[in-house]
Amino acid sequence: MRVRACRSIRITKPILDYLRGMADTTAAHKAGFVNIFGPPNAGKSTLLNALLGEHFVITSHKVQTTRHRILGILTEPDYQIVFSDTPGIIEPKYKLHHRMMLQVKSALEDADVALIMHDITEPIEELEVVDKMLKLKVPTVLLLNKTDLIKDKKEIAEKVKLYAEKFPNWEVLPISAQKKTNTDKILAFVLAHLPEALPYYPEDSMSDRPVRFFVSELIREQIYNLFHEEIPYHAAVIIQSYEEKESLNVIKAEIIVSRETQKGIIVGKAGSMIKQLGINSRKTIEEFLQKKVHLELFVKVRPKWRDNDSYLREYGYNG
């Protein structure tokens, strides 16, 4: 994995406008923010990985996997696309949800182009909520994802027609993020609508988030894989220490849960589950870092952390 994440840089609207102004006098280099929105589980994160060609952001078959807005930067000689993965749009039930939706709103503010993802096998009504919340005014393409699940090509064409009629302001494209079908057409749409501008980020940066954020996410991804029912939704992962040695990285991480019973499930009988979680997480972190890793996991109970402002802030859910 060739991630080289830079430290958090917050580019405000005035800076964006200034950079764009500068670009007016230069050659036609294109750059801009292309933000991915949609209901939970539509395949937004899978798409970002497909577009970047990496296992970059975490995915799972469970809903509400992504909790943050995460930038993924694609730099080529003639353009720089700053993609944003965002949490699935939901009706908030607790403060963590509210903060997740604030992340979606922040991605609305700077989008130059919007990609709306929808699972083609889900009802069209799901998108009405998204449309109402987003009220997009930028060039938008609706990606009807998971076409690989529909064998009949005619059925796909009919759905494209139906969605195009229902959402006349959006271009409609059937895709499969998993099989990378039609993903080249997304790039063509984006490049046709990207403004002329200088690159916003150095050419070797792939994200605005530090490496340890991605490491914590990889552990969270394994929690989604290994545990069921409410456990993934009550878990947060914090990197306690991250020590880079020559031959290996030593990483200590804390898993936060809401209840003692959840802690018991994560630890498992005689520590069997946390051991498995450690093995799975280490493997994927080593692939990501291309380096050996020594990983230690601890579990802590913080009652109602998902509704507690100071815990949410401490765990990086800034809204």
Ligand X SMILES: Nc1nc2c(ncn2[C@@H]2O[C@H](COP(=O)(O)OP(=O)(O)OP(=O)(O)O)[C@@H](O)[C@H]2O)c(=O)[nH]1
Q: Which residue is nearest to ligand X (CB)?
A: 88
* Distance of closest approach, residue 176 Cβ to ligand X, in angstroms: 4
* Distance of closest approach, residue 109 Cβ to ligand X, in angstroms: 19
Could you say which of Mg ion, ligand X, none residue 216 binds, taking C-beta under 5 to 8 angstroms by partner kind? none
Q: Are 47 and 34 in contact (CB under 8 A)?
A: no
* Distance of closest approach, residue 43 Cβ to ligand X, in angstroms: 3
- Whole-angstrom distance, CA of residue 145 vs CA of residue 136: 20
Q: Which is nearer to ligand X, 148 or 204 (CB)?
A: 148
Could you say which of ligand X, Mg ion, none residue 234 binds, taking C-beta under 5 to 8 angstroms by partner kind? none
- Name residues whose C-beta falls within 8 Å of residue 264's C-beta, 6 or more positions apart in sequence: none
249 binds Mg ion (CB under 5 A): no
* Distance of closest approach, residue 278 Cβ to ligand X, in angstroms: 23
Could you say which of Mg ion, ligand X, none residue 103 binds, taking C-beta under 5 to 8 angstroms by partner kind? none
Number of residues that bind Mg ion (CB under 5 A): 4
Contacts made by residues 257-263, CB under 8 angstroms, sequence distance 24+? 257/231, 257/299, 257/300, 257/301, 257/302, 258/234, 258/301, 258/302, 258/303, 258/304, 258/305, 258/306, 259/234, 259/301, 259/303, 260/301, 262/230, 262/231, 262/234, 262/235, 262/301, 263/299, 263/300, 263/301
User: What part of residues 62-91 is at the interface with Mg ion (CB under 5 A)?
Assistant: 65-66
Quote the tokens at residue 146: 């998971």
Show the DSSP H helices in the chain as ranges. 13-23, 44-52, 95-109, 125-134, 153-166, 183-193, 211-226, 231-234, 260-267, 272-289, 309-314
Q: Which is nearer to ligand X, 59 or 249 (CB)?
A: 59
Q: Which is nearer to Mg ion, 31 or 108 (CB)?
A: 108
Could you say which of Mg ion, ligand X, none residue 222 binds, taking C-beta under 5 to 8 angstroms by partner kind? none
Which among 288, 300, 209 has a CA at the least distance from the CA of 252?
300
- Interface residues with ligand X (CB under 6 A)? 38, 40-46, 59-61, 63-66, 87-88, 145-146, 148-149, 176-178
User: What part of residues 23-52 is at the interface with Mg ion (CB under 5 A)?
Assistant: 44-45
Query: 134 by DSSP, 3-state: which?
Result: helix
* Distance of closest approach, residue 10 Cβ to ligand X, in angstroms: 23
Strands 30-37 and 113-119 turn out to be: parallel
Q: Which is nearer to ligand X, 58 or 293 (CB)?
A: 58
Could you say which of ligand X, Mg ion, none residue 75 binds, taking C-beta under 5 to 8 angstroms by partner kind? none
* Distance of closest approach, residue 59 Cβ to Mg ion, in angstroms: 6
Dihedral sign, CA of 311, 319, 41, 276?
negative
Q: Which is nearer to ligand X, 249 or 284 (CB)?
A: 284
What residues make contact with Mg ion under the rule CB under 5 A? 44-45, 65-66
